[in-house]
Amino acid sequence: MKADAVDRVMDQWAEQRPDVDASPMAPIGRIHRAFHLLQAQVRAFMNSRGLEDWEFDVLATLRRAGAPYTLTPKKLVASSMVSSSALTNRVDQLVRRGLVTREVDPTNRRSVLVTLAPAGLALVDGLVPDHVANERQLLGALTPNEVDELNRLLRKVLVSLGDLPVPAP
């Protein structure tokens, strides 16, 4: 198997600090590097379709919520990969593009509802198959069984770190 950048880092630690078992650095470093490399690829894919990756994330989160494709900002943050500090500005941008609407919740005037607009629904529904194909290609170095095993191991790590499912809206 070919060496990667983390192998070089591990060799350096072994040479400089042979008294320290640095082996936990290898998988953490690989996860970190893989995240950045995958994020760049997904971002480039989305940009080629006229979207920012965060725009797709918000649209896809609303789509996954099911009809009527509406969430409160709090539930949108909990179910997406967008931070609460960035959400207001990002929803504003999506409203300007006609991809979502924002309105006061008629059942609770202190709350706001963000809803996937028809143009946003058409965009995300048209893009999901290509997005999945792109992600499949990004994992193309792995067999289907290896993808399953990677998924299982990463889930185990995430659960151990407290990353539990968000309750359904």
Distance from C-alpha of 17 to C-alpha of 21, rounded to nearest angstrom: 8
The residues, ordered by sequence, that sit 6+ positions from 6 with a Cβ below 8 Å of its Cβ are: 25, 26, 29, 30, 33
Does the pTM exceed 0.75? yes
Decide if pLDDT at 71 tops 80: yes
Distance from C-alpha of 153 to C-alpha of 53, rounded to nearest angstrom: 25
Decide if pLDDT at 81 tops 70: yes
Decide if pLDDT at 168 tops 70: no
Q: Band of the pLDDT at 167, cuts 50, 70, 90? A: low
Summarize pLDDT for 132-141 with one digit per residue, the tens.
999 999 999 9
Which domains, ranges and CATH numbers included, belong to the chain? 1-16+23-48 (no CATH), 51-160 (1.10.10.10)
